[in-house]
């Protein structure tokens, strides 16, 4: 069995792979290959093109993969932030509903009526972005920044952070205060690779926790 997980960019891929490395290896020993695929390589996509493509184009790709590979599950995992890209959405449920509607429209356009295909299409998200997991890994973040403590400016639990101040902006500001520049493809894997995914899932149960539970139960 194979699980293909589509995310927005390479920092999402590297960060989540580092955090889940033990779980990925455990599943591989069970004959389940978990792979992450970024839609875009540009991690400075402030315009949201990566998210829009993930929401609107990847469902078509997912249908083709699932139809041609009966042992493959496809997961789409965008950021919740920024809101209303691709279609109107502000909440996780609205995001999931919109992606599923796009997926169903592709099935209909291709004349596919086999409902079993929908069972191998899953939707999760980062709330509000990958950096929420970095803020949840506070002790590992402190180590990378080389400080003794952080002046916390974000909401606890981090999953309740609002759209106006996404976790990525907060992480970038923390790095700037320490005279550093945050680079997601480098810093995210280092920070998250030293954290326990179980601890992060416990702190982020609304989105990441559900994703971890899904992987554990495959």
Q: Residue 73 is inside which H or E element, if any?
A: strand 72-76
Band (pLDDT 50/70/90 cuts) for residue 163 is: low
- 164's tokens: 């106006």
- Residue 165's pLDDT is 78
Q: Which of 144, 161, 163 is nearest to 153 (CA)?
A: 161
What pLDDT score does 79 carry?
A: 94
List, as own/partner pairs, every contact residues 153-157 make where C-beta atoms lie below 8 angstroms and the sequence separation is at least 24, other chains included: 157/203, 157/204
- At 119 the three-state DSSP class reads helix
Per-residue pLDDT of 91-143, as tens digits, reads 999 999 999 999 999 999 999 998 889 999 999 999 889 999 999 999 999 99
pLDDT digits (tens, 9 = 90+) for 32-79: 999 999 998 666 665 588 999 999 999 999 999 999 999 999 999 999
d(CA 109, CA 106): 5
> Cα separation of 61 and 59, whole Å?
5
- % of the chain beyond a pLDDT of 90: 80
Instruction: Please tell me the predicted confidence (pLDDT) of residue 183.
Output: 97
């Amino acid at each position: 069995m194979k699980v293909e997980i589509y995310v927005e960019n390479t920092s999402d891929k590297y960060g989540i792979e580092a955090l889940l490395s033990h779980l990925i290896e455990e599943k591989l020993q069970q004959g389940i290959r978990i792979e992450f695929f970024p839609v875009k390589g540009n991690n400075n996509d402030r315009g949201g093109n990566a998210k829009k493509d993930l929401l609107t184009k990847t469902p078509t790709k997912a249908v083709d993969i699932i139809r041609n590979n009966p042992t493959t599950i496809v997961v789409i995992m965008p950021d919740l932030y920024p809101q209303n890209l691709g279609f109107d959405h502000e909440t996780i449920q609205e995001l999931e509903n919109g992606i599923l509607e796009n997926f169903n429209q592709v099935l209909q356009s291709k004349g596919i009526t086999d409902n079993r295909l929908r069972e191998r299409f899953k939707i999760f998200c980062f709330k509000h972005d990958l950096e929420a997991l970095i803020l949840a890994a506070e002790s590992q973040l402190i180590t990378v920044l080389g400080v003794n403590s952080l002046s916390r400016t974000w909401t606890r639990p981090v999953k309740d952070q609002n759209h106006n101040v996404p976790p990525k902006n907060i992480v970038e500001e923390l790095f700037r205060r320490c005279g550093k520049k945050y680079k997601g493809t480098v810093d995210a894997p280092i920070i998250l690779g030293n954290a326990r995914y179980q601890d992060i899932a416990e702190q982020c149960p609304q989105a990441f926790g559900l994703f971890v539970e899904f992987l554990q139960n495959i």
